[in-house]
Structure 1
Amino acid sequence: MQTILGSGGAIGTPLAKELKAYTDKIRLVARKPVQVNGDDELMTADLTQSADVDRAVAGSEVVYLTVGLEYNIKIWRRDWPVIMQHVIDACLKHNARLVFLDNVYMYADTEIPHMTEHSTIAPPSKKGQVRAALHYTILQAIQQKGLQALIARSADFYGPAVKNGMLAITVEGEYKKGKKAYWQIDVNKVHTFTYTPDAAKGTAILGNTPDAFGQVWHLPTSAEKLTGKEFIEKVAAAMQVQPRYYILSRFMMGLMGLFIPIVREIKEMSYQYDRDYVFDSSKFEKRFNFKPTTYSAGIAARVRS
C-alpha cells in the first residue's frame, strides 16, 4: 500500500497515476478525496487530528505528504508543525517510509540564484521559517528515531491543472480575462518553474528507491534559463495573444495588500523575483538518467489542458 496524504491538487493527482507503475494498492487521503485511477482506496481525514493520520498511515509501506495548506502564515504556523508531527509519529508506529514534498522557502536569499540540495538554510521570510522548522523536524526524526524519510523539493509549479501557480495566476489567468499579464519586481531576471508531471514522476521514483531515503532531492526541473519576459512571451504565443504585461512593484503590493489578502501574503516572498532564481536538479537527473520537460513543451501542454 502506498498512501498520499493530501491527495488531489497539482501533484497529488498526477502522483496517484505515476504510482500505478509500482503498486496496485493506492490510498488517497484528503478531506474530500476523489478517485484518480478508478480503483484507489479513498479515505476521508483531517491531518491535524492524530487519530485520523494514524488510521490513514496504517498498513502503508510508503507515505507521501503532499498536502497544500491555505497560503496564510497564521494557518501555516498553526497547522504545519502539528501535521508533520502526526505524520512522523504514525510512520514510526507503522514502519512506513515518508516522502515529504517541499518547496524552497527555507533557503537563504543569497542562495536563490543557484539552489542545490546543499544550499544554506537561513530563510528571510516568515513562511520560510515554518518550512525550515519542518526540515529540521524530519532530520531529527531520521537521526534520533530511525525514521525512513526523504525530502523532495520543487521550484514554483506550472503545468496541467495547476490553479495557484504564479504563471497560471499572473500570466495565463490574466490573458484569459482579456487583461495584461503582470510580473513581480523585475521581468528581466531568470526564474525557474517545475513542470508538475515531471515532479510527480520524480516523487514516485524517489518513493520507490530505497537508497534515496535519508536525503534531500530537488525534483527534475528544466535547466533552461528564461527571464520573466521570456515566459510571458512563450505563454502569450501559446495562447495566441499579444504579450502585454506590467510590473507589480513592492509599493503596489503594499497598497493592494491592504485590500487583497493573498497579495499581502506573497509580498514577503518578492525577494525571489528581484534576483535570478535558479533551481538545480542535476543530482536527480544524473542519478535517474532523467531529462526534464522543456518549457516550450510544458507551456504548450498547460495551455491545451
Structure 2
Amino acid sequence: MQTILGANGQIGEELARYLHNTVTHDIRLVGRRPSAVNKTDELFSADLTDAEATDRAVAGSEIVYLTVGLPMDSAMWEERFPVMMENTIAAVRNHDAKLVFFDNTYMYPQTAAPQVEGKTPFEPRGRKAAVRARIATRLQEEMDAGRVEAVIVRAPEFYGPGKTQGLTNTTVFNRIKKGERPLVPVSADTQRSLIWTPDASRAMGLIGNTPDAYGQTWHLPIDQDRLTYREMIAIASEVTGRKIRFSTIPLAVFTLAGLFNAPAKEASELMPRYGVDNIFDTSKFAAHFPEFETTNYRDGISQLLSP
C-alpha cells in the first residue's frame, strides 16, 4: 500500500497517476474530501491535524507521501503544518512506514546564490518561510536519529496544468490564456526556476520507490535552461501567434499593497526573491536518474496555452 496524505491537489493527483501507471494499483488517497484519480484508488477521509485520524490513514502503508498544501495564510500555516508533521512522524513510526515529504524552497536565502541540497543553509525570512524551515528541520532530526526512514524532496515554484497553484500561473500564464495583460512580479529580466507539476510528481514517485534515495534531501528536476519572464512571454507570443505586452509590478507596490490587502501581505514576504536570479540546482537528481525526461519551458508553455 502506498498512501498519499493531501491527495486533493495537483501534486497529489499527478502522483496517484504515476504510481498507478508505474508502480502499484494499491493506492490510498487521504484528504478531507478525497476523490478518486484511478478506478482502483482507496479513499480515506481524514483531518491530518487529528493524530488518531492520521494514524488510521497511515495504517497498512509501506510508503507514505506527505503532499499537503494550505492557502497562503501565515496564521494557518503556523497552526497546522507543525501539528500535521508531528502526527505524520508519529504515524509512520508506529506503522513502520517510509515517508516521502514534499517540501518547497521558502526557507532558502532570497539571493542569487545557487541552491544546492545539503549545502544551502536555511535563512527564513517571513512567517511562512519560518514554518517551512521548522517542519523540514523537525523531520531531518528524526531522520538523523534513525527513528524514521524518510526522504525530503524539494521543489521550487510550480507552473503547470489543472489545479496547479503558483504566482507565475496566476499572474502570467492564466492571464495570457484569458487574453489579459500578464503581470510580472518585480523583474522581467531575472532567471526563474520553475517546476512543471507533472514532472515534480513523477520524480517524487520515482524517488519514493528508490531504496537508496532515502535518508537524503533531493531537489526535484527542472529545465536547467532557466528563462526570464521576458523570455517566457516571448515564447507565449510565438505559441499564441499574437504580440503579448506585459506590465512589471515593482517590489514597492507589493509592499504598499500589503499594508491594506491581506493576500498581498501574505505574498509580499516572497517578493524579494523575484528581484534576483533564482538558481535551483538539480544536478544531483540528474546524475542519479539520467533517464528521467524533464519538460522544457517551451513545451510546458505550449501545453498551458494550447486551445
Please give the range of the TM-score, normalised by the shorter of the 2 chains.
over 0.9
Q: Deviations over 1:184-240 (max 9, x none)?
A: 111111001001111111000111011111100001111012111111222343334
Corresponding residue SS for 1:300: helix
CA RMSD in angstroms comes to 1.5
- Distance, in Å, in 1 between the alignment partners of 2:14 and 2:193 is 21
Q: Which residue of 1 aligns with 2:58?
A: 57
Q: Which residue of 2 aligns with 1:269?
A: 270
CA contact (8 A) 1:158 1:168 kept: yes
Task: State which of 258, 281, 292 in structure 1 corresponds to 2:294.
Answer: 292
AA paired with 1:302?
L
Displacement after TM superposition at 1:259 (Å):
4.5
Q: Which residue of 2 aligns with 1:86?
A: 87
Q: Deviations over 1:150-192 (max 9, x none)?
A: 1000011111114422221111222244321111111111001
Q: Deviations over 1:116-157 (max 9, x none)?
A: 102111222221111111111001111225200110000111
- Distance, in Å, in 1 between the alignment partners of 2:23 and 2:175 is 39
Q: 1:103 and 2:104 equivalent?
A: yes
* Equivalenced residues, count: 304
**Closer, same or farther: CA 62–278 of 1 in aligned 2, 3 Å:** same
- Distance, in Å, in 2 between the alignment partners of 1:29 and 1:131 is 21
Aligned identity (percent) is: 39
Displacement after TM superposition at 1:250 (Å):
2.2
- Distance, in Å, in 2 between the alignment partners of 1:304 and 1:5 is 32
- Distance, in Å, in 2 between the alignment partners of 1:239 and 1:50 is 49
Structure 1 stretch 269-278 or stretch 163-172: which is displaced more?
163-172
- Distance, in Å, in 2 between the alignment partners of 1:212 and 1:204 is 11
Q: Which runs of 5+ in 2 are unaligned?
A: none
Q: Which residue of 1 aligns with 2:15?
A: 15
CA contact (8 A) 1:162 1:168 kept: no
> Normalising by structure 1, what TM-score?
0.95
Structure 1 stretch 124-133 or stretch 29-38: which is displaced more?
124-133
- Distance, in Å, in 2 between the alignment partners of 1:177 and 1:261 is 25
Q: 1:5 and 2:5 equivalent?
A: yes
AA paired with 1:217?
W
Q: Deviations over 1:236-256 (max 9, x none)?
A: 433344321111112211333
Displacement after TM superposition at 1:49 (Å):
0.6
- Distance, in Å, in 2 between the alignment partners of 1:132 and 1:25 is 32
- Distance, in Å, in 1 between the alignment partners of 2:32 and 2:261 is 26
Q: Which runs of 5+ in 1 are unaligned?
A: none
Matches for 1:40-51 after TM superposition, within 5 Å: 40-51=41-52
Corresponding residue SS for 2:222: coil
Q: Which residue of 1 aligns with 2:218?
A: 217
> Normalising by structure 2, what TM-score?
0.95
Matches for 1:74-223 after TM superposition, within 5 Å: 74-110=75-111, 112-117=112-117, 118-223=119-224
CA contact (8 A) 1:237 1:243 kept: no
Structure 1 stretch 168-177 or stretch 90-99: which is displaced more?
168-177
